Amino acid sequence: MVNEDYFYLDHAATTPLRDAAFEAFKYAEIEAFANSSGGHSLSRKAKNLLEESREIIANYFGAAPSEVTFTSGGTEADNWIIKSSFHSKLSDKSELITTKIEHEAVLSSAEWVHENGNIVHFVSSDSNGVVNTHELLSKVNDNTKLVSVMFANNETGVVQPIKNIIEEVKKINQNILFHSDVVQAVATEKIDFHKYGIDSAAISGHKIGAPKGIGVMFLSSKFKLPSYFHGGKQELERRAGTVNVSGVAALAAAILELEKNITQEKMKIDFERNIFEEKLNSEIDIEIIGKNATRLSHISNIQFKDINSETLMIALDLKGLGVSRGSACASGAQKPSHVLKAMNISKDVINNHLRFSFGWTTKDGDGLRAANIVLSSLRELS
């Protein structure tokens, strides 16, 4: 199968590399390949490229360059913030609050904190996939060290009332570090961390057209956290390991592209996504998850009636349309989603969901084209 012939609607899993990012990567690997920590002129070239890129990236998120540390991706950033916050405080009274709809990187890190003896609260969400603010605030106390709430959910696209939650949380205890996994949101939302009051954040490059293997751990200068990786003194002694300069350069290039195009990209994605949903809705009985909440433009999570989405996903793939379903386990089998479970979606239909996600390569007519493929597959399956 030639990729060009394949209709890709799984941008929330990963999106194609932007041309500018590819060029920046190539340039860095050829012209600035040296180790950015070295003392010679080629190293300086790499170091200069690294720091210029850091400024571009920090600037986009309204952060200071010193608040940006490069990681291997969003998962590392989430692990770092959460585990390091409790590492020296294990089994003391420090408490962690997070939600049941977080990405596995946050959930599993929170479980690690719990297994090591700290109190961890997992807050529920309502049937629209919005975190229950009232419940969350009821858990905040003097011992709360960290609150972690994602900016928007990766499976449903539902945007969380972060700003309000942060304000209320800080009223109760202003020392709390407020972490937000913004990995999915940055694809179609421009976020200024300080304006929101976000103290730390996890960003992944490959969701916005940079390569896989590069990410950002943003940490406000008001906070300090111990290192997670130990070794060399890279990244202001915060993260050991030779810095992935080409990845960073590509990320900066992707962010410049995103900054330039985000309004048009978002408009197009939003338009195609809505046509897709309207077309399906007019022809068949579906439930659009989170339709009563604010959603990211690029994600459409659809609950179908009477059809297991395991089968539908295979049928769509055989027709050359790639979408996703919950999160995959080691074998590649697809498991019911913990996010949908947390939303109390009935057992009878929890396996009837598919996530369609649009992205920066989405073209005019993609929404209708996708809907028609789904409709013809459903006709064949019935």
Comparing CB distances to other proteins, the nearer of 65 and 336 is 336
Comparing CB distances to other proteins, the nearer of 256 and 312 is 312
- Minimum CB separation of residue 104 from other proteins in Å reads 12
* 319 contributes a contact to other proteins by CB under 8 A: no
Q: Which of 334, 349, 350, 375 is the binder for other proteins (CB under 8 A)?
A: 334
Among 58-66, 86-94, 161-169, 333-341, the segment contacting other proteins (CB under 8 A): 333-341
* 381 contributes a contact to other proteins by CB under 8 A: yes
Of 1, 2, 329, 333, the active-site residue reads: 329
Comparing CB distances to other proteins, the nearer of 135 and 317 is 317
d(CA 204, CA 51): 18
- Minimum CB separation of residue 329 from other proteins in Å reads 5
- Minimum CB separation of residue 375 from other proteins in Å reads 16
Q: What would the two tokens of residue 155 be?
A: 């499976």
> Contact, 205 vs 20, CB < 8 A?
no
* 348 contributes a contact to other proteins by CB under 8 A: no
- Minimum CB separation of residue 351 from other proteins in Å reads 9
For residue 289, the Cα-to-chain-centroid distance in whole angstroms is: 18
- Minimum CB separation of residue 320 from other proteins in Å reads 11
* 2 contributes a contact to other proteins by CB under 8 A: no
> Contact, 138 vs 283, CB < 8 A?
no
DSSP 6-35: SEE-BTTT--PPPHHHHHHHHHHHHHS-S-
d(CA 169, CA 152): 18
Q: Which of 227, 310, 341, 368 is the binder for other proteins (CB under 8 A)?
A: 310
Round to the nearest angstrom and report the end-to-end CA distance of the chain. 27
CA Rg value for the chain: 21
Q: Which of 2, 30, 236, 330 is the binder for other proteins (CB under 8 A)?
A: 330
Q: Which of 317, 322, 350, 372 is the binder for other proteins (CB under 8 A)?
A: 317
What single DSSP character describes residue 120?
A: E
> Which string of x and - marks every residue 257-296 that binds other proteins (by CB under 8 A)?
----------------------------------------
Looking up tokens 């913030």, which residue turns up?
81
d(CA 96, CA 115): 12
Is 328 a catalytic site residue? no
- Minimum CB separation of residue 228 from other proteins in Å reads 24
Q: Which of 138, 163, 259, 314 is the binder for other proteins (CB under 8 A)?
A: 314
Looking up tokens 């810095």, which residue turns up?
243
Comparing CB distances to other proteins, the nearer of 2 and 318 is 318
- Minimum CB separation of residue 319 from other proteins in Å reads 11
Residues 68-87 that bind other proteins (CB under 8 A): none
Tell me how many residues contact other proteins (CB under 8 A): 15
* 3 contributes a contact to other proteins by CB under 8 A: no
Instruction: Give CA separation, 194 vs 63, 103, 144, 313, in Å.
Output: 7, 23, 21, 40
* 354 contributes a contact to other proteins by CB under 8 A: no
Checking phi first, is residue 137 left (phi over 0); if not, alpha (psi -120 to 50) or beta?
Answer: alpha
Residues in the chain: 382
* For helices 19-31 and 41-60, angle between their N-to-C axes, nearest 10 degrees: 160
Order across the sheet with 286-288: list the strands: 286-288, 299-304, 353-357
d(CA 96, CA 118): 8
Q: Which residues bind other proteins (CB under 8 A)?
A: 310-311, 314-315, 317-318, 329-335, 380-381
Give the catalytic positions in this structure. 329
